[in-house]
Structures are given as C-alpha cells and as structure tokens.
Amino acid sequence: MDFISLQKIILKLLNYFLVFFILFVVYRKNILNVIFSSRFIAYSSLEVFKKIFMLFFVGYVFTPYFNDLLNFSILENFYANSHYVFVVLISLLLIDFFQYVLHFIQHNVPVLWRLHRLHHFDKTVDGLTNFLSHPIEGVIGFILLSFFIAIIGIPIEGLFVYTILTAIHEPYGHSDIRFTEKFEKVFNKIFITPQFHRVHHHLDMKRGNSNFGGLFPFWDMLFGTAVFPNKNKIFTNPTLGISVDQKPDYSILSFLINPFKKS
Ligand SMILES: [Zn+2]
C-alpha cells in the first residue's frame, strides 16, 4: 500500500469517527437504537457498496488510463515559485470553487439532479446523511475533480489539506450543531456552518436551491446563492427532505434505482 492510499484510509476513518462521535457523544443517541435502525443499516450498506464500486473504478478503470492523459498544467510554474502557505490557500479556494460550481450544476441540470437528489431525501439530516449519495454521482464527481486538479496543476499538499478539512467538515456540516445567533452571524461568513448547510436541505427548493458551497460560503455570497439562516427566520427546525409525502424507503436497491424513478 502506498503512502497516499494510507492517508486516504486514515482520513476516511477520521471522517467515520467524527460521524459517530457527534451522534453518540455530542447528541447522546442510543448506540443500539441507531445501529439496529433500518436507516443506519441501509445507509451503511450503501456506503460499503460505494467504497467497493469506487475502489474497482479507480483501480482498474480510471487511474491506469488517466495518468497518461494529461501532462500539462496551467498553474505549474506559479505554484513552483510561490510560498508553501500561499500554494495551499489558493488550492483550497480553487477546489472549493470547483465543488461549488459542480453542486450548482447538479441542482440545475435535470439528469445530474436525478443523480444528486438521493442525498436530499434525508428528512433527518445528520452525520449519516454523508453516506446517502449515489455511486454514479460519486464516480462522475471523482472524474471531473481529477481532471480539474490535473489541468490546474493543484499540488498534492493542497489536495491533502482540502481532504483533511472535508473529512472533518462533512460530519460537522450535516450535524445539527447550533451556535448562538451572534456567533453564527459572523462565523457563517467565514466557514460553512451546520445551520447554513441545513438551509440547502430544506424541503422548499426555493430555499434548497441555495448554499451550494462545500467549505467556504464565499462563492454563494459572490454569486448570490447564499441564504443565511438567521436572516430568513428559518434558524430553528427547517423542514427537510425532498417532498411532503415522501415515505421512508430504507433499502439499498431503492437508493440505487432512485435516479431512474420519475420523482
Ligand atoms: Zn445539494
């Protein structure tokens, strides 16, 4: 196993640890009630399926060909002549901008929305919501991000720091952690807070079609897609999910065929 694969595994374990830490330590959910629930069994099965699917895809289908595809990068010289800290900061902003654009497109291009909407089916948004996404969406995102990183020439250090922050931010961002309104008002202009991201999971897509950012809210603020929770009086308990009459269907098969259903 190479060093990069080992880093990825450690970060994924950190990600899982935080999901369970927030659920069982911060929110004191009953461990047995959670792990024997149909929601947990279905979501974790989907997560395992996705990991196997991705390992096969990355190892046998994508990487062997991708490595020979591109041998140039736009910012290679710029990165080579810049300070280490600056390189990491610019890389973070560029990858985050890419994720913002991709997420915006996923909500606005019908075929991509079909792949992405599974993630919005959760009516109880918490750390486990991280597991709820379609494998094909994951593969498309991985291919596009790989091309973006290669074309721009984002160095491994920048990608590594972004992956660490994402591993921490995903479970935190989907939790229901609440800061005081005063703190929230300032902090959600710097980093995306759970309440800011919760607006994105709002049942009403007029609200849900907002807050597409991953780590930073800057892109939403810049392009007019930011909806701040306190300003819009939905700071507490917004209605989440995808439709009022949706029924919980916790089976891996229904998750996998979800993009091919009408609604
Ligand atoms: Zn979304």
Closest listed residue to residue 211, CA positions, set 223, 195, 199, 193: 199
157 alpha carbon – ligand 1 mean position (Å): 27
pLDDT of residue 209: 83
pLDDT of residue 3: 60
Domain segments of the chain as ranges: 3-260
Residue 236's pLDDT band (cuts 50, 70, 90)? low
Sign of the torsion angle spanned by Cα atoms 179, 93, 155, 144: positive
pLDDT of residue 98: 96
Residues 6+ apart with CB under 8 A from 230: 181, 184, 185
pLDDT of residue 77: 75
pLDDT of residue 90: 92
1 alpha carbon – ligand 1 mean position (Å): 34
pLDDT of residue 4: 62
CA–centroid distance for 100 within its chain: 10
What is the average per-residue pLDDT within 170-189? 88
Q: Does the structure show a pLDDT above 80 at 171?
A: yes
Q: Does the structure show a pLDDT above 80 at 240?
A: no
21 alpha carbon – ligand 1 mean position (Å): 24
Q: Is the pTM of this model over 0.85?
A: yes
Q: What is the pLDDT of residues 66-115, one digit of tens each?
A: 666 666 677 777 777 778 888 889 999 999 999 999 999 999 999 999 99
Give me the DSSP letters along 151-204: HHT--HHHHHHHHHHHHHHHHHHTS-----HHHHHHHTTTS--HHHHHHHTBSS
What is the average per-residue pLDDT within 112-124? 90
261 alpha carbon – ligand 1 mean position (Å): 18
Q: What integer best gives the mean pLDDT of the chain?
A: 85
pLDDT of residue 190: 94
67 alpha carbon – ligand 1 mean position (Å): 30
pLDDT of residue 235: 52
Sign of the torsion angle spanned by Cα atoms 102, 96, 179, 233: negative
What is the average per-residue pLDDT within 141-170? 89
